[in-house]
Amino acid sequence: MFDTLADWLDEWQIVLDNGTVSAETTEVYVRGVTQFITWARDAQPHVTAPEHIDRRHIDLWLGHLTRQGRKEATRRVRLLAVRFWLDYLVDTHDCDLTVNPAARIPLPVPKDHPVPIIDDDSLAALLKATAGRDFFAIRDTAIIRLLLDTGVRRGEVVGIDVDDLDLRTQEVTVTGKGGKTRTLPIGGKTALALRKYLRVRATRPAATSKPLFLSYRASDTGTWRLTGGGVGEMIDRRCEAAGLGHVWPHQLRHTWAHDMLDNGASEGVVERLGGWTPGSKMVKRYGSSMADARARKASMEMARGDRV
């Protein structure tokens, strides 16, 4: 018999893990529902079963997220996660929830907030914070350099297997959204960081396992693969040690896109390397906070008035 909201979340996660939803999407959904359950436990302790949840509780939780400074896009994803979870419970014959209380709540509309680009001094400080000879220092250096070099999503970086890495050609193959793979070049410093990581990885208990980046311990399902959430937590720890403000993994992707465009890469090249659908508007959004600076730089380089 199921006694808690967390029990029902565990069941839904099993369904997601065995369905068509990607591991990255599953992680996002589970994180969103977990946050709702944690909030309910503290703020609404009488809400202990799905049938206790009503729209007021979800509205209060969304207000809590707003006060935390969560942007519209984040609140939208969190609400969708809870909505899909409750949809599943309504359709489950042995759950007493009969109507989804989140079904009619309007989804927050994301605003176009330019994402700040991380400057070189901050990146150097972040890498300095990972300096060390222990396994996790070497692993974290390799992950951060790979994110900076390729702009991969954190779900893509944790999905890399050892066999996906070719240090001879300095290339790595990642699997993106929709199961599409792409092979990306990596620079010399990143290749060296990965080579050092592979050496210390060989000493770990899970050295023969498939995942490239290993976690501190095996999960409940027995895998040693680092999760996307683990990457985010790692970057938070390293930023705190470096004395930096909050930096999230996707900020590194925005920074990569800006650097590529700033150094002359076409939007088509950035689309292809970044795993975006050709013609999408995502490239224009990434690095948009520095678009004016790139335009001024291009104008100065052309400087038609200096040629006559």
Q: Where are the domains of the chain?
A: 5-90, 120-290
Strands (E), the chain: 165-166, 171-175, 181-185
Which pLDDT score, from 0 to 100, does residue 307 have? Answer: 45
Is there a contact between 100 and 90 (Cβ–Cβ < 8 Å)? yes
Which pLDDT score, from 0 to 100, does residue 2 have? Answer: 57
Is there a contact between 9 and 34 (Cβ–Cβ < 8 Å)? yes
Which pLDDT score, from 0 to 100, does residue 237 have? Answer: 94
Q: Topology of domain 120-290, per CATH?
A: hpI Integrase; Chain A (1.10.443)
pLDDT tens, the chain, 308 aa long:
557 999 999 999 999 988 878 777 888 999 999 999 999 999 999 999 999 999 999 999 999 999 998 889 899 999 999 999 999 999 998 899 999 999 999 999 887 767 788 999 999 999 999 999 999 999 999 999 999 999 999 999 999 999 999 999 999 999 988 788 999 999 999 999 999 999 999 999 999 999 999 998 888 778 899 998 899 999 999 999 999 988 888 899 999 999 998 888 888 899 999 998 887 777 766 656 555 565 555 544 544 444 44
Is there a contact between 233 and 31 (Cβ–Cβ < 8 Å)? no
β-bridge pairing 181-185 and 165-166: unpaired
Helical segments of 71-187, H only? 72-90, 120-129, 135-150, 154-158
Supply 179's token pair: 């199961």
Q: Which pTM does this prediction carry? A: 0.69
Which pLDDT score, from 0 to 100, does residue 277 have? Answer: 82
Q: Does domain 5-90 have CATH number 1.10.8.60?
A: no
Which pLDDT score, from 0 to 100, does residue 76 have? Answer: 95
Which pLDDT score, from 0 to 100, does residue 189 have? Answer: 96
Which pLDDT score, from 0 to 100, does residue 128 have? Answer: 96
Which pLDDT score, from 0 to 100, does residue 302 have? Answer: 46
